Amino acid sequence: MNRNRLLTCLLAISLLLTSFSAGFVSACPEINILTYNGFEYEVETDYDDDYNVYQYICIINYTGNDKNVEIPSEIDGLPVKAVGSMAFIDNKNITSVTVPASVATVDSNAFEGCTNLSEINLPSTLTFIGWDILLDTAYAAENYEDGVLYAGQYLISSDSSTIGESVTVKEGTTLIATGAFFNSTVKSLTLPDSLKIINSNAFSTCCSLTSVTIPEGVENIEYGAFYSCSSLKEVSLPSTLKTIGSNCFADCTSLTSLDVPESVTDLPDGMLFGCSAVTAFEIKDTVTSIGSSVFDGTGIKSLHIPASVNYIMSIYNCPELETITVDSNNKWYFAENNVLFEKSFIDGSIGIIRIPCNKDLESYVVPDNVKTISYGALTGNTTLKNLTLGKNISAVYDFDAPCLENIYVHPENTTYSSADGVLLSNNGTTLEFYPMGKTCAQYTVPSDVKALNSLCFIDNPYLTELTIPDTVKELNHTVVEACENLTTINMSPCEASFFWPFLFCEKLTTVNFSGTVEELKQMNIELYHEENKEGIYAYCSDGIVELEAPDYEYEYELGDVNMDQKLNIRDATAIQKHLAKISALSEEAFFFADYNMDGKVSIQDATDIQKWLAWL
């Protein structure tokens, strides 16, 4: 799938936020910042493991004058459980800080720039330490050991300029903090038996690391801990492990296998995303859930779903996957001819989770008892050419099969119909989807069609000319996207519900418009995109219009940190490098890096970008 389609959504969101920001600000509730003995704090609400609501205090700033600061363990009867990001940043007055045992989280850069802070007392209760909490402090200047900074039982960070290729984390260390070895040159790593937790991105982009053994006793390895360790070939996980964070081993392109212990019941989103060298994986019979994009981009050829699995988000973009089997005792999933089905726990209806890439399945007829085709069911399928929808199917969330040439529909289906292999609504008035692999160079929308659905023409490399007749009165959102060889669109005046109905068609140069120049302007659409290097000409009934770039700039969007007009993993990495002080963001890039729009740039922004990419 061409991931540029993501920008369709982001462009709209960004413009809306720009146009109506004042309204949004006034509509948002004000953050209630409270004070206590020089501490500014917020009351946060969360849920425990049993989904019971509880409240706690997060310290967000210190305005007091004490040099020796003791953070209180509770305020107004509520426990202080967190020290927020940058809570003490650049405080030149404090020389020591004591964090109470009630605190579980010290967030990124909490004490950064406290140049006189020489003593830090952290409790044994911490489960999360953010990026560089002691950056540019007197404590850090005095306490690095062989390029590694410890604070009591916690490994805080490393210095890429002094750390060696071989690192032995000292015994007694229980937690490795977020981003502690981010982008480090370490090749050999020895972890102590005392270790319990590896926080997010702790070893991400350690491109020289070739193997790692996680010792017995480790219970949590968090989000992206070994993300993009491109040389990592071998990983040994302990039997004590309870949770693996999403994208933990994503883009470890040299990794050939991963043995997840039976103690892990949830396979997280993007766990093996992009691990192309992994060709086999065993789902243990203790696993209960499989997240999104767990196997996306791997070389896995077969999967067996045990009886224990009761939730599968998707089996997404597995181009080598040919065989799927399910334990006969599984209550929610079953397989027939290697196609994975699910039973709805709500109404018992049947849905398709995955149609694998099997040369024997060039044509597939969806059984009549199937009601839905789930998101990701076809994504990356390079063998399917013909798909026939059964008579009871009412919702299809995925047609992303690049070789799919024809979509047919059972004549008794009340939701869909088809004409010449193109999917239409049951009454034929809406064009739902034009297959990606359909090889016609020219296509004319049927005259009965009145509306074109969003993304109904997408990623088709064969289509060069599209004719939209005057019977079409409505373009729903972006209807044509990333049709790389499309040069010409013939169309008439109609209603367009989006500024850019045609996007990322880099060879599009000609729009033959049956209406007048004024009618084209009244449609209030933009056809230009920077990929159309020569521009686009609209030939109207009373003149020729060269469609140029709009006055406003929209080429850089929220999350496009490196401003290359693409949202990809490089943007998340740019944020991580900024936080790790490897490189600095410009003022403009800083604006785009605030992906979650909370007014600051933090690891959460990088995390949210990576989660979004994993979801695609």
Answer yes or no: is 606 within a domain. yes
**530 with 587, same domain?**
no
By the 8 A CB rule, do 247 and 267 touch?
no
Least confident piece of the model among 91-95, 252-256, 529-533: 529-533
CA 411 – CA 426 distance, rounded (Å): 9
Answer yes or no: is 455 within a domain. yes
Answer yes or no: is 521 within a domain. yes
Answer yes or no: is 449 within a domain. yes
CATH number of the domain that residue 56 is part of? 3.80.10.10
pLDDT confidence band for 553 (50 / 70 / 90): very low
Per-residue pLDDT, 532: 52
**574 with 543, same domain?**
no
Q: Is residue 30 scored above 80 in pLDDT?
A: no
What's the total number of domains in the chain? 3
Mean pLDDT of 424-440: 97
Closest Cα partner for 489 from 515, 462, 511? 511
Q: Is residue 418 scored above 90 in pLDDT?
A: yes
CA 172 – CA 55 distance, rounded (Å): 32
Mean pLDDT of 471-492: 92
**59 with 138, same domain?**
yes
By the 8 A CB rule, do 427 and 449 touch?
no
Per-residue pLDDT, 226: 96
For 172-184, give the DSSP string.
T--EE-TTTTTT-
Answer yes or no: is 582 within a domain. yes
SS3 at position 456:
coil
Domain boundary among 86, 111, 145: 145
Helices (H), 207-275: none
pLDDT confidence band for 316 (50 / 70 / 90): confident
Answer yes or no: is 339 within a domain. no
What order do you get walking across the sheet with 457-458 strand by strand? 457-458, 480-481, 502-503
Domain membership of residue 591 as a residue range: 569-615
By the 8 A CB rule, do 592 and 567 touch?
no
Quote the mean pLDDT of the chain: 87
**448 with 543, same domain?**
yes
**601 with 503, same domain?**
no
Q: Is residue 414 scored above 50 in pLDDT?
A: yes
Per-residue pLDDT, 344: 87
What percent of the chain has pLDDT above 90? Answer: 70
Per-residue pLDDT, 23: 34
Tens of pLDDT, residues 3-28: 333 333 333 333 333 333 333 333 33
**451 with 535, same domain?**
yes
Mean pLDDT of 306-315: 95
**73 with 131, same domain?**
yes
Domain boundary among 77, 112, 145: 145
Answer yes or no: is 265 within a domain. no
**62 with 139, same domain?**
yes
Domain boundary among 84, 116, 145: 145
Closest Cα partner for 163 from 580, 607, 595? 580
Per-residue pLDDT, 556: 54
Tens of pLDDT, residues 157-192: 999 889 989 999 999 999 999 999 999 999 999 999
Tens of pLDDT, residues 506-532: 888 899 999 999 999 888 777 655 555
Answer yes or no: is 197 within a domain. no
Mean pLDDT of 446-450: 97
Mean pLDDT of 407-435: 97
> Which DSSP category does 477 fall into?
S
- What is the SS3 assignment for 563-606? CCCCCCHHHHHHHHHHHCCCCCCCHHHHHHHCCCCCCCCCHHHH
Q: Is residue 29 scored above 50 in pLDDT?
A: no
Per-residue pLDDT, 552: 42
**596 with 523, same domain?**
no
- Intra-chain end-to-end CA distance of the chain, in Å: 9
CA 614 – CA 227 distance, rounded (Å): 12
Per-residue pLDDT, 612: 64
**512 with 573, same domain?**
no
pLDDT confidence band for 548 (50 / 70 / 90): low
Q: Is residue 210 scored above 70 in pLDDT?
A: yes
**43 with 137, same domain?**
yes
Tens of pLDDT, residues 34-86: 999 999 999 999 888 788 899 999 999 999 999 999 999 999 999 999 999 99
**577 with 496, same domain?**
no
